[in-house]
Amino acid sequence: LSKKENFINAFDHFDYEKVAEYGEEDIERLANDAGIIRHKGKIKAAIANARAFMKVQEEFGTFDAYIWGFVSGEQVVSQLDEERPTQSPLSDAVTKDMKKRGFKFIGSVTIYSYLQAIGIINDHDLACNFR
């Protein structure tokens, strides 16, 4: 998070269409940018993910339609009282499908967090006053 602004600037404000067009020159530019994590595999993954994202949009109309299709448009609500899961059969399935579609450097724990962040999984603690 401390490098967030650096990443935003280095990756063209996260414009996935621009990132999808990155080539070797851009990879080298990013690999030499001390303001970001310079792991070439992760840089190449960001480019591959932008391209895979666009392919999903082409196939499903929107990424939103694709991702909500895993739950038929219905939010998954879990009542938790103590143990906090970090992955689930849903995040496993989404991860597997995304990898099949060319997404890189993703895993079920990251996808579970993403599904929480976008509202597909709602597993607030029972003691939380959010509800």
The H-assigned helical ranges of 1-122 are: 4-10, 16-20, 24-31, 40-60, 63-69, 89-100, 108-117
The pLDDT assigned to 123 comes to 87
The pLDDT assigned to 6 comes to 96
The pLDDT assigned to 1 comes to 82
The pLDDT assigned to 78 comes to 82
Taken in order of first residue, the domains within the chain and their CATH numbers are 1-60 (no CATH), 62-131 (1.10.340.30)
Residues (pLDDT < 50) of the chain are 131
The pLDDT assigned to 84 comes to 80
pLDDT, tens digit, 9 for 90 and up, residues 53-72: 999 999 999 999 999 999 99
The pLDDT assigned to 129 comes to 63
pLDDT, tens digit, 9 for 90 and up, residues 29-45: 999 999 998 999 999 99
